[in-house]
Structure 1
Amino acid sequence: MGSNSLVPFQDLNVCPELPATSTLLVPKIEPKLEPLDEPLPSPPAFSLSTPSPAPSPCPSSADVYSEFNRLSELFRSTLAQGLQGNGDMPFPPDSDPDSRALVPVDNPEAHLSNVVLMPRGSRKYQARSSELVRVMDLKPEDERYFRDLIRKTRMLFDSLRVYAIAVDEKQKDLMVPHRRPRADLKAAAVMREHGLWLNRDKRVVGDIPGVSIGDVFFFRMELCVIGLHGQAQAGIDYVPSSQSSNGEPIATSIIVSGGYEDDEDAGDVIVYTGHGGQDKNNKQVVHQKLECGNLALERSMNYGIEVRVIRGFKYEGSVSGKVYVYDGLYRIIETWFDVGKSGFGVFKFKLVRIENQVEMGSTIMKFAASLRTRPLDARPRGYVTLDLSSKKENFPVLFFNDVDKDHDPIYYEYLINTVFPPFVYHCGSTSGCDCVGGCVDDCFCAKKNGGEFPYNLQGILVRGKPLIFECGPHCRCPPSCRNRVAQKGVRNRFEVFRSTETGWGVRSLDLIQAGSFICEYAGVVLTREQVQVFTMNGDSLIYPSRFAERWREWGNLSDVFCDYKCPEDPSTPPLDFAMDVSRMRNVACYMSHSSSPNVLVQLVLYDHNNVSFPHLMLFAMENIPPMRELSLDYGVADEYMGKLAICN
């Protein structure tokens, strides 16, 4: 970061003292709390474990369970401590104290392990600073650095959370139905224990470097991890008076989620109700007082300090039932004491969005929702076709161009799956699993994947691997099997669009969760001999071997375990083939190249067992908001390879 980017905030001691306010004889208020993301479980016997290099493709049953038992012990030294520590950020107050600590599972077979990954040295929790700073005039390289830092931190959070769920699914007590482990709390606790939370050394006023307006979060804990909002449940984040340099509290961010009956949200203008005075049913039962977060908002208005606004609302399909969207910076321009709808006194704060910011993420999500049901009403001009796939995909692929008259994509035949040469299906083993009712932990296909399923029960990729074996036509398991994910096709509504910056691009009308399947990169596979003929004719081809191995980043826990090793099995030979997409292609071929992509390529086999010719399946590397462009790392982009050469 440039030396002039981090600017100390103005000395608040030189400002006028707090004016006298009337005193109300009311009970002491509590912080403005928000509903929990999901119910807390009963105290779990849980061990969050980290993967190790996968064993040979078909280990014995004993080896499989020995490996799992070994994994179950890896976080013992890290998670034996309580999660609360001496930090300033409380966990939800109504949770059982024991549920805040992660305790390892007593495993009678743990002594069979002969490989141990040592966690990084335990660190004392970093206390959150009260020093106010504003980040200004970042150079382009600084902006890229902080964006990548935020993306990496969020990816680690998601990787830990998804892996925690996978371990819980394997250890779940069948006597406790519908148990929903708080994997977000576990992931955040591990990251906090290892000093991986961001923006703890300074209290940032204004935008957090690396966080973009429109970024979407499924869990409140993720907001805490990156420092966007430092309270796990309170709606107002502020520097308390005991830590402030001038003895007055200062607010830095709020969450607007309609938790108070007197809240009014008109987008650019918000009337935000202060905290306190509510019962457990969110009904106002006593007067509020001008203290704590309420006083902090009033002081921020007095000193002209902007606050970050995060909106939380219910969202169908969200893993937690809610989403939180960062909508930018607001100024508090007015505050007053009023009688609320329940007849009790409440403090109200009028916030106005600062001008010249990009469009709010919550507005874009509402617009995308209208496109999903009534695209022509929401955007009457620009659509070339409402289904580029001609009903071949599970959901229509919209084609939108309001830039020019180029309608090129409609002239190509749409593929939903890669076309392999016939000989590919006659090579390799034809055996499959015998799991009639659904695959179990020790089935044949699980063993081929190193003794573990690549996806959790929600179909989310647990960690990237060199190759994934899904159940195929020779397996007896049903279509609903948890090991059949990528072969089922797209589950989101996509739109191919024309951009003045990247040419053709792809965006989703749905919110895509990190680790979820997107689509296949489909084309016609050519052997080496065929490639030579095509290149002599000047045709451009896709070379799968040149895609960057971004799968190594998903599920990478090396920041938690110093001895973590990226999976190397099941191994694959070099991908000695190319793909022709010059006449037949699918939606993936229009994705743009990026050195910081939000989509990764994962090799998958399911309809044949020839490891030399895998499918190129695409998965989300992060939560991708609706209408945000999808991007891939094509690796080497030249005249023989790359989206720009083919689709632009």
Structure 2
Amino acid sequence: MVEVKASDRDLCNGLENVPVFIEGNVNKDNYPAFQYSSENVQGPGCDIDPNEVILPGCLCRVHSCLTESCSCVQTYRQTYDSHGRLQDHRSMGNSYCRPLFECNILCGCSEACFNRVVQRGLGLKLCVYPTQYRGWGVRALEPISCGTFVCEYAGEVIGFEEARHRQLAQGPQDNNYIIAVREYAGQRLVTETFVDPAVVGNVGRFLNHSCQPNLFMVPVRVHSPVPRLALFAARDIGPQEELTFDYSGGFTNTLSVERLVQGDPGTEASGTDKLQRKPCHCGAENCVRFLPLDISVLN
């Protein structure tokens, strides 16, 4: 029996509003070596500091903005309800969702404005734990209502060439943490964002993939044009249930990546001998057998 001190049970070292618990007697020294960060950091190839205040604020001089008049809300007309839950989450289906702009430090509204959710940070009790077949995972320790913000997928924001370099440098047994988010206006690619939490990241780096996930991702902008990759509950989630999202963006989010679903595990992907298709162990009835892999950065 290994004794674990109370101070060792918080994986985030006090950097979040609430502790990120470590299950049982697993000491945080036994977890993968990485630097915890509650928000995105600027990495190689990223020209903009993700936390620099660049976006303008709204002119609302009220305690909480009005949906019909706030410029932050009107940009894409997607926002939260009075309980801080994402609106229209039940009607999204498998369609692409719209990005979201929260009020920021330059806005005239108060810190209590309904349009400030992701920027307030982690507010739910989560637990990181070892799974049987899929490495580490994340559990909810309390009920989570559909549409509720759960956590960010935070890490280094890097450029295309750096993302390509890192993927090519990976071996067959290496985990690929890089998420590519591509946002479109019609058929035109507007912007793409690459986030890698392998070395610097938050609790989101421990979330597993599922072909039938209970979370979905939305790009949320607060101070900077660089989006925060926010994960919301796709349905009501019970205590002790594992939290998962579809790495390919197949559940209502704006990720656009290619999913490799044919062939055998170990088959070379995209003509390179350094990246291999990895089998999916999510256990969902609709499992496509292989983890999603974005091969666009390898072309």
TM-score (structure 1 length as normaliser):
0.33
Give the corresponding residue for 1:416: 38
Q: Give yes or no for contact 1:402–1:498 (8 Å, CA) kept in 2.
A: no
Following superposition, the deviation at residue 607 of structure 1 comes to 1.2
Q: Give yes or no for contact 2:8–2:28 (8 Å, CA) kept in 1.
A: no
Give the corresponding residue for 1:35: none
Q: Give yes or no for contact 2:101–2:221 (8 Å, CA) kept in 1.
A: yes
Assess, with a 3 A threshold, how the Cα gap between structure 1 residues 487 and 428 changes in structure 2: closer, same or farther.
closer
1:606 aligns with 2:229: no
Give the corresponding residue for 1:528: 160
Greater RCO between the two (CA within 8 Å, min separation 6)?
A: 2
Q: What secondary structure is seen at the aligned counterpart in 2 of 1:607?
A: coil
Following superposition, the deviation at residue 617 of structure 1 comes to 0.1
Q: Residue type of the partner of 1:507?
A: R
Q: Give yes or no for contact 1:397–1:494 (8 Å, CA) kept in 2.
A: yes
Following superposition, the deviation at residue 400 of structure 1 comes to 2.1
Following superposition, the deviation at residue 483 of structure 1 comes to 0.4
Aligned partners of 1:477, 1:504: CA distance in 2, in Å? 40
Give the corresponding residue for 1:454: 79
1:624 to 225, 237, 246: 237
Aligned partners of 2:57, 2:27: CA distance in 1, in Å? 52
Q: What secondary structure is seen at the aligned counterpart in 2 of 1:446?
A: helix
1:437 aligns with 2:63: yes
Aligned partners of 2:122, 2:54: CA distance in 1, in Å? 28
Aligned partners of 2:155, 2:63: CA distance in 1, in Å? 34
Give the corresponding residue for 1:85: none
Write out aligned runs for 1:41-60 (5 A).
none
Q: Give yes or no for contact 1:593–1:643 (8 Å, CA) kept in 2.
A: no
1:394 to 17, 22, 33: 17
Give the corresponding residue for 2:213: 597
Give the corresponding residue for 1:511: 143
Following superposition, the deviation at residue 427 of structure 1 comes to 9.9
Q: What secondary structure is seen at the aligned counterpart in 1 of 2:217?
A: strand
Aligned partners of 2:220, 2:111: CA distance in 1, in Å? 17
Give the corresponding residue for 1:463: 88
Aligned partners of 1:432, 1:629: CA distance in 2, in Å? 38
Q: Residue type of the partner of 2:71?
A: F
Aligned partners of 1:641, 1:473: CA distance in 2, in Å? 43
Following superposition, the deviation at residue 530 of structure 1 comes to 2.3
Assess, with a 3 A threshold, how the Cα gap between structure 1 residues 572 and 633 changes in structure 2: closer, same or farther.
farther
What are the Cα deviations for residues 565-608 of structure 1, in whole angstroms up to 9, with x where unaligned? xxx98999455332222211111111111111001101111111
1:542 aligns with 2:155: no
Aligned partners of 2:118, 2:28: CA distance in 1, in Å? 34
Write out aligned runs for 1:2-81 (5 A).
none
Aligned partners of 1:423, 1:502: CA distance in 2, in Å? 34
What are the Cα deviations for residues 354-387 of structure 1, in whole angstroms up to 9, with x where unaligned? xxxxxxxxxxxxxxxxxxxxxxxxx988999310
Assess, with a 3 A threshold, how the Cα gap between structure 1 residues 634 and 535 changes in structure 2: closer, same or farther.
closer
Write out aligned runs for 1:116-515 (5 A).
385-400=8-23, 407-409=30-32, 411-420=33-42, 421=46, 423=48, 429-441=55-67, 442-450=69-77, 454-464=79-89, 465-515=97-147
Aligned partners of 1:392, 1:642: CA distance in 2, in Å? 33
Aligned partners of 2:47, 2:166: CA distance in 1, in Å? 19
Give the corresponding residue for 2:295: none
Q: What secondary structure is seen at the aligned counterpart in 2 of 1:582?
A: strand
Q: Give yes or no for contact 2:100–2:221 (8 Å, CA) kept in 1.
A: yes
1:586 aligns with 2:218: no
1:634 to 241, 247, 268: 247
Assess, with a 3 A threshold, how the Cα gap between structure 1 residues 460 and 585 changes in structure 2: closer, same or farther.
same
Q: What secondary structure is seen at the aligned counterpart in 1 of 2:181?
A: helix
Aligned partners of 1:574, 1:593: CA distance in 2, in Å? 26
Assess, with a 3 A threshold, how the Cα gap between structure 1 residues 640 and 436 changes in structure 2: closer, same or farther.
farther
RMSD: 3.7
Q: Give yes or no for contact 2:151–2:232 (8 Å, CA) kept in 1.
A: yes
Gaps of 5+ in 1: 1-378, 550-567
Following superposition, the deviation at residue 621 of structure 1 comes to 0.8
In terms of Rg, which structure is larger? 1
Assess, with a 3 A threshold, how the Cα gap between structure 1 residues 516 and 429 changes in structure 2: closer, same or farther.
closer
Richer in strand (by share): 2
Aligned partners of 1:614, 1:405: CA distance in 2, in Å? 29
How many residues are aligned here?
241
Q: Give yes or no for contact 1:432–1:476 (8 Å, CA) kept in 2.
A: yes
TM-score (structure 2 length as normaliser):
0.69
Aligned partners of 1:642, 1:439: CA distance in 2, in Å? 46
Q: Residue type of the partner of 1:388?
A: L
Assess, with a 3 A threshold, how the Cα gap between structure 1 residues 427 and 443 changes in structure 2: closer, same or farther.
closer
Richer in helix (by share): 1
Aligned partners of 1:424, 1:405: CA distance in 2, in Å? 29
Aligned partners of 2:98, 2:66: CA distance in 1, in Å? 22
Gaps of 5+ in 2: 90-96, 249-258, 261-268, 270-274, 281-290, 292-299
